[in-house]
Every structure is written in structure tokens, then in C-alpha cells.
Amino acid sequence: MSAARPLPADLPRDLEAEILRLKKERNAILLAHYYQESEVQALADGVGDSLQLARAAQKADCEVIAFCGVHFMAETAKILNPHRKVVVPDLEAGCSLADGCPVDQFRAFVARHPGAKVVTYINSSAEVKAMSDLICTSSNAVKMVEHFEGQPVVFAPDRHLARWVAREANRPDLIVWQGICIVHEQFSAKRLAELRVKHPDAEVLAHPECDDAVLAQADTIGSTSRIIERAIESPAKTLIIATEDGVFHQIRRRVPEKTLLQAPGPDEGCACNRCPYMRLNTLEKLYLCLRDLEPEVTVPEEIRVRALRPIEKMLELSA
């Protein structure tokens, strides 16, 4: 990946208006993950979790996709849209899960389990996807593993999601790659228990990338979109949420009367529920990427074709 570009001194004053103008001029759509800052989400044509964004990318009708998320998400959009230009505000926006599963080590891991089907979380590189039988997101991971009932399954790269899926799908035999999300792993079970004592009527919502001791205290465990859905429909007036900070924007927009509390990290006042990779995407960089149509995300055709198959299979099975 290239080094981050310095910001020019002559950025327009009204960045939002310029981004909307450029979006039209470039025949671009802007897709943003729920973990983006609220001002980025506000400009997007589509906001969603990984599954919703993959679906939106599949249906894209435009010349350019400007993807505000992390690299593996933009790669997925490119895999689904080989003839469209996919640009991102910052190429350095990676992910600890994707980065923690290098293709050579993963190939050796899979080779140690001959005959096993490979179900890979979408938070992985195009190369790792290309080695997989099926891709999953946190919305559909249980269903994707159930698809291979009676067959050995390698599940990668998130160990916490894997543990939850193994329980939900009754697959204690899952063969698990031991990756972690540096954001979701930070939530402290001890401090969450203390917070619950202070708010006994609060409902706890958690993402399955969290540690088991956190999940054990959750009333609802689910993907980002499931957490938002439950936060809206829940009769509880106070919600404790164990996932990335960006989802608060969507929940506040829909149910402003509810009290939203962040599940605590290990230290008082830490901002550890903010993904540092996602936060690399700023309005300034979004403006520049639409103006210059770079940095562009590319995937070698041979890898793209192999990675497309398990992604399309997932979209078909979760339709």
C-alpha cells in the first residue's frame, strides 16, 4: 500500500457540497460502513454492514464506487464490479482481522486439514477469500457454517465469532484460525458487569466479535445491522452497546429518546471502541479521492475470479 497523501492547503470550504457535486460529475455512488463518522454516513448513497454493502456493490449502477470503509470491503466491491473504478479515501484503512491472516500462513493452515471446507469471514484479504469455499458476514455466519453440515469446516479469521458460531450452529468441531478484532476484543467484561449494576434495566447488545465473557452478559448478540434493529425495536429505554462507536449515529437518528451507553473498555475514558482504521477516512480525503479518482483499489484478475465464487455463493445463500 502507498503512504498516506498529505492534505493540500486549498481544500474547499464547503466540503460536503463539493463531495455531492463531484459524486454527480463522476457518476459515482458513495457506500459507507456503519463504523464511519456521522458526517461521512450522512453523504452516502448506501450505509450498511458488510453484507448490506456487498449487496449494494453488487447492484451498483455507476462508473465509480467511492467506498468509505476498510480495505477488504472496498476489495469486495471491486471483486463484484471488475469494470467499475473503486476508490477509497485512504488505502491504509486496513483491519486487524484481515491483516492477521496472511495468505501464506493461511494456506499452510488449510493444508493441515485436508478435506475441510473453508468458511471465511468477509474481514479477510482477496487472496484469502480466493482460497475459500464460502464467505460469511456476522449476519449470516451461522447459516453459512450450517451449509456444510456433516463436513469438517475451517473457520477464519475471527476466533470470537468462531466460538459463537460453533455454539449457535452446534459445531464444536470447527477448526478455528485465531484472529482478533482489536476493537471488539477491548471491551471489558468486568467493567460491563459494573455498568449493568448501575443500570439494572438496561438491555445489553453485543457484536459476536467480542470476547465470550462479554457475550455471556448480552441480551442480544448480532451483526451491526441486527444491533441497530434491536436497539430500535427494544422496549428498553437504556441500551448498553458493545460494538464500534459509529453505530450510535444510526441508532440516535432513529430513536433519539433512548439513552445509549458504550460498553466500557479496560480503562476509564478510553476511546477503544473507535476503530482506528475506519477513522482514517475523513471528509477531506473523501473529497480528494472523488476529485482525483485515487487511490484506486485493484485486485489481480486471477484472484478476483476465484474470490468471486464464494462471495456470490454467500449472496445467493443469504438472499
Residue among 238, 234, 236, 184 at smallest CA distance from 212: 184
**Segment interacting with ligand SF4, rule: CB under 6 A, options 19-27, 89-97, 100-108, 131-139:** 89-97
Confirm or reject binding of residue 275 to ligand SF4 (CB under 6 A): yes
Instruction: Give, as ranges, the residues between 181 and 210 that touch ligand SF4 (CB under 6 A).
Output: 181-184
Confirm or reject binding of residue 74 to ligand SF4 (CB under 6 A): no
Confirm or reject binding of residue 91 to ligand SF4 (CB under 6 A): no
* CB 15, min distance to ligand SF4, A: 24
Residue among 162, 202, 160, 168 at smallest CA distance from 185: 160
Please say whether the beta carbons of 207 and 201 come within 8 A.
no
241: three-class secondary structure by DSSP: strand
Closest to ligand SF4 by CB, 138 or 217: 138
Confirm or reject binding of residue 70 to ligand SF4 (CB under 6 A): yes
Confirm or reject binding of residue 67 to ligand SF4 (CB under 6 A): no
Confirm or reject binding of residue 97 to ligand SF4 (CB under 6 A): yes
* CB 243, min distance to ligand SF4, A: 8
Closest to ligand SF4 by CB, 181 or 239: 181
Residue among 20, 39, 17 at smallest CA distance from 30: 20
Closest to ligand SF4 by CB, 96 or 120: 96
Q: Which residue type sits at 227?
A: I
Closest to ligand SF4 by CB, 182 or 260: 182
Centroid of chain to Cα 247:
11
* x/- track of binding to ligand SF4 for residues 11-50 (CB under 6 A): ----------------------------------------
**Other CB atoms within 10 Å distance of the CB of residue 170:** 11
* CB 89, min distance to ligand SF4, A: 14
Report the alpha-carbon distance of residue 231 to residue 238 in Å, rounded.
9
Report the alpha-carbon distance of residue 183 to residue 199 in Å, rounded.
24
- 180: cell is 482478533
Instruction: Give, as ranges, the residues between 121 and 160 that touch ligand SF4 (CB under 6 A).
Output: 123
Among the listed residues 214, 277, 304, 314, the single contact to ligand SF4 using CB under 6 A: 277
DSSP 265-288: -SSTT--TTS-TTGGG--HHHHHH
Confirm or reject binding of residue 245 to ligand SF4 (CB under 6 A): no
Q: Which residue type sits at 49?
A: D
Cis bond upstream, residue 295 (ω within 30): yes
Confirm or reject binding of residue 96 to ligand SF4 (CB under 6 A): yes
* CB 209, min distance to ligand SF4, A: 6
DSSP 105-160: HHHHHHHTSTT-EEEEESSS-HHHHHT-SEEE-TTTHHHHHHTTTTS-EEEESBHH
Residues interacting with ligand SF4, by CB under 6 A? 70, 95-97, 123, 181-184, 244, 275, 277-278
